[in-house]
Amino acid sequence: MVANVNPTVRRRRLGSELRKLREEKGMTAEEVAARLLVSQSKISRLENGRRSISQRDVRDLCGVYGVDDMRIVDSLMQMAKESRQQGWWHAFGDIPYSVYIGLETEAASLRVFEPQVVPGLLQTKEYATAVISGNLPEASPEQVEKRVSVRMRRQERITDADGPLRMWAVVDEAALWRKVGDAQTMHQQLEHLVELSHLPHVTVQVLPFEVGAHPGLSGQFAVLEFTDATDATVVYLEGVNSDLYLEKDTDVQAYSVMYEHLRAQALSAEATRQFIRDAAQRYA
């Protein structure tokens, strides 16, 4: 695999470029689909980065859009080639949330609200094993182990010395009292959470019960932002059978405002550390 090539992000960037070419041509997705004798949904998935883009797809679309500059065509063809390569996560087989992993791997910052458990990137191996086993009661030990291994690999973004992921986590107080695994697992997890919160690029805030109703009652969500200006901010909503990725400006703005309210209502970073330490002592 070419160094530093993220196929998920390459697909998104390429899809964005193709959408711009279509819009500059003044064509709708339906018109393009009719010209190429394909479905309109295929054009939409290509532009949204949800479908692998072949070099033939790029060639055909450039023909429809009348792109004569071969430097542009060659650049898009190269992006298509790179987008079909495999990221590190493919070595673990079929991972249902592989699109999210690809985005997380490339993201510069991550804001996450977690109402039930400690966020995955901040979990200990023992806690992660207990979470995944409980969430997937019919999974085999091998399947659980694979998912735990992927989660541990994802955590390398937090400790990456060259370009660590900037992470802000708002965690509901319920996650501290939900006993995942045994008491020792919980104690070690909470101590680990305090330790990570001291990293300069990691901020953890607890949203206490006394806040009452709050904007995060609808559930978990994450906001991923990227260094490259061409990569749109993504809101990620995790589902049971399928996940949702929101990129419209109005959706991103709505969730960003929600997150600011959650941060404002949560305990400060220092008060959070003491709150978590006190919770950890109850499990000790």
Alpha-carbon gap, residue 58 to 53, rounded angstroms: 7
Output the pLDDT for position 203: 98
* 71 vs 79: which has the higher pLDDT: 71
Domains in the chain with CATH codes = 7-85 (1.10.260.40), 89-283 (3.30.870)
Spatial distance between the Cα atoms of 108 and 225, rounded to a whole number of angstroms:
6
Which of 9-23, 61-75, 125-139 is the least confident region? 9-23
Specify the pLDDT at position 89.
66
**pLDDT of 2 above 50:** no
Residue bearing the bigger pLDDT, 163 or 126:
126
Task: Give the model confidence (pLDDT) of 162-204 as tens digits.
Answer: 889 999 999 999 999 999 999 999 999 999 999 999 999 999 9
Which residue in this structure is represented by tokens 């709050």? Answer: 214
CB atoms within 10 A of CB 204: 24
Q: How many CA atoms lie within 13 A of 14 on its CB side?
A: 33
Mean pLDDT of 30-52: 84
φ/ψ bin of 174: left (φ > 0), alpha (ψ from -120 to 50), beta (otherwise): alpha
Of 148, 152, 136, 206, the C-alpha closest to 177 is 206
Residue 2 parent element (H or E): none
Rounded CA separation 210/14 (Å)? 46
